[in-house]
Amino acid sequence: MANMSWALPGADPVRAQPPGDTPPSGTPSEQAPVLVPPSLVTFVEAVYPPEAEAQRLEGAVELAITLDAEGRVTDVTVTAPAGHGFDEAAVAAAKQFVFEPARKGDRAVPSRIGYRYVFELKPEPAEEPAVPAADSSDASSPGASGPNDATSSPAESAPPAVEISEGFEARAVVDPPPREPTRRTLTKEVLTRIPGTRGDALRAVELLPGVARPTFGVGVLIVRGSSPGDTGIFLDGSPIPLLYHFGGLTSFMNSRLLERIDFYPGNFSARYGRQLGGVLEVSAREGASDKLHGVLDLNILDASILVEGPVTDEWSIAFAARRSYIDFFFKEVVPKDFFDVVTAPIYADYQLLSTWRPTDRDRVSFNVYGSSDQLELIFSEPLDGDPAVSGDFDQGTQFHRGQL
């Protein structure tokens, strides 16, 4: 079972002409060439995932198939995954499809189509109704009527009839109702591309409906209708006390290690505890398992590093760390007598994500992460009002988590 739509790369969508409308007359050279969509010539049935078949699961996968001018499949991507192995099976089958290419007039052109691959289990064969056999002992039992008995009749000796009524069978694929009425989801493909976030993926939450922008210099998450302390923040199910560093300069998590963000403005599951506002669920991704990767980021506020890669075939890790260097600037670059009092915010964070894959189906993750914020007051000279106050004064907050 499949539904298919198509489009020429770079062309406007094609719409059918309503009945009764007559196109304007003109010479053949003035009329636009006729667009003929591609047609499927060879269909390849996908291998039903054994795990899904054992659990009697069904599903549908939305695909985007790119065809060249000869009707060959050049690329297949999943636009709406179904999980449970359906995505891989649908892509593998779609790559073997053969199409009659799309045509623009008399010329074959490349195209891109949307394809819905539906996985349905074959219905189990219905059991035939058992018809009780005639009891042969009735003929020989005492008092039984013989064939020449005047009281015997064919209706008494025949087996009971089986009544079969006509009917029909229907099957439908229906998505289950959502667990939460409202959920805003941002995947890793769009987290780092949203404008106005300064490259900080968690800043994208402030742009979602139902979230208010905090005042400048305040690093809190405000959900409309509640105070900042009423909104819960979770990383892979564990509560996080602080989402942003001092003054809301940046978030505590490296944006390149995020898999997705789910935001619930209200009516969320009871597993998040007694929250009155909203819930922000942050999901971290696994470290790269193909090869070693690294990123070094230097800006005017801080420096960060990210290293990830495989340790063995089954084990991969990702490590990220960041620290601000505003305090170094005031201590080492600015002359000590330039300012009487200097406020230097210091923040740092780290994440260590480790994933072990003993089998294709099993994952064991061990994550360690933490954040530290410190506000340091640097006095170049003793205060006039209180000469005893001199040197440095600092205060801060921090948290550290381990998760298995």
Q: Give ranges for CATH 3.30.2420.10 in the chain.
A: 4-12+31-119
Contact 375, 394 (CB under 8 A): yes
Percent of the chain with pLDDT over 90: 16
Contact 247, 257 (CB under 8 A): no
| pLDDT over threshold 70, residue 147 | no
E-state strands within 181-314: 184-187, 211-212, 222-223, 232-235, 238-239, 258-264, 279-284, 293-298, 302-310
Half-sphere CA count of 10, side-chain side, radius 13 A: 2
Q: Which residues pair with 78 in a beta bridge?
A: 63
Percent of the chain with pLDDT over 70: 70
Is the domain 184-284 a CATH 3.40.1280.10 member?
A: no
Is the domain 4-12+31-119 a CATH 1.20.1530.20 member?
A: no
Average pLDDT over residues 163-181: 67
- How are beta strands 293-298 and 302-310 bridged, if at all? antiparallel
> Residue 244 gets which letter from DSSP?
B
287/265 Cα distance (integer angstroms): 30
Nearest alpha carbon to residue 299 among 319, 325, 320? 325
Q: What element of type H or E holds 140?
A: helix 137-140
Round the average pLDDT of the chain to a whole number and report it. Answer: 76
> Residue 54 gets which letter from DSSP?
H
Given this model, what pLDDT does residue 351 score? 92
User: Cβ neighbours of residue 28 under 8 Å, at least 6 residues apart?
Assistant: none
Contact 228, 275 (CB under 8 A): no
End-to-end CA distance of the chain: 42
Q: Give ranges for CATH 2.170.130.10 in the chain.
A: 184-284
Given this model, what pLDDT does residue 21 score? 46
Look up the pTM and report it.
Answer: 0.49
Report how far apart, in Å, the C-alpha atoms of 15 and of each of 6, 40, 101, 297, 366 are: 11, 20, 19, 48, 53
Categorize the per-residue pLDDT at 293 as very low, low, confident or very high, splitting at 50, 70 and 90. Answer: very high
Residue 386 three-state SS? coil
Residues 316-352: tens digit of each pLDDT: 999 999 998 877 776 666 666 655 555 667 889 999 9
Half-sphere CA count of 38, side-chain side, radius 13 A: 31
User: Cβ neighbours of residue 62 under 8 Å, at least 6 residues apart?
Assistant: 78, 79, 80, 114, 115, 116
Given this model, what pLDDT does residue 57 score? 87
Query: In the 3-class helix/strand/coil scheme, how is 74-134 assigned residue by residue?
Result: EEEEEEECCCCCHHHHHHHHHCCCEEECEEECCEEECEEEEEEEEECCCCCCCCCCCCCCC
Categorize the per-residue pLDDT at 375 as very low, low, confident or very high, splitting at 50, 70 and 90. Answer: confident
Half-sphere CA count of 34, side-chain side, radius 13 A: 4
Residue with more model confidence, 369 or 275: 369
Given this model, what pLDDT does residue 12 score? 42
Range from 68-72, 223-227, 249-253, 319-323 that averages highest in pLDDT: 319-323
Residue with more model confidence, 211 or 126: 211
Categorize the per-residue pLDDT at 397 as very low, low, confident or very high, splitting at 50, 70 and 90. Answer: confident
Contact 355, 373 (CB under 8 A): no
Residue with more model confidence, 340 or 269: 269
Q: Which residues pair with 114 in a beta bridge?
A: 5, 64
